[in-house]
Amino acid sequence: LQRVVRESRDLDGYVASVNQKADETGQDSPIIRQAIGLAYRQQNQHDKALVQFQLAHELQPNNRDINTALLAEYDALQDHAG
């Protein structure tokens, strides 16, 4: 899943599709949100990664990997802000 998301040619479009489906059905997936966050992180789009990790955290707050990724994005954004 992570490789498929990472190699997506239109990641923003994919995210819009995931958002729309979640809005329509009321169902979302922390695994998909985490994979999207990792893909954005690899593209150094930390603000977008942070949003995805926050959504994943809301869905699965006790997941250590998600919490670690979320903290790493906060750190990355702090580094970029100076």
What six digits make up the tokens of 40? 């954005």
Q: What is the pLDDT along the chain (82 residues), one digit of tens a residue?
A: 778 887 888 999 999 999 999 999 999 999 999 999 999 999 999 999 999 999 999 999 999 999 999 999 999 998 766 5
Q: What is the pLDDT of residue 14?
A: 94
How far, in Å, are 22, 28, 72, 78 from residue 32 at the CA level? 11, 8, 18, 25
How far, in Å, are 3, 44, 76, 80 from residue 28 at the CA level? 20, 24, 26, 30
Q: What is the pLDDT of residue 82?
A: 52
- Predicted structure pTM score: 0.89
Q: What is the pLDDT of residue 15?
A: 96
Contact 40, 48 (CB under 8 A): yes
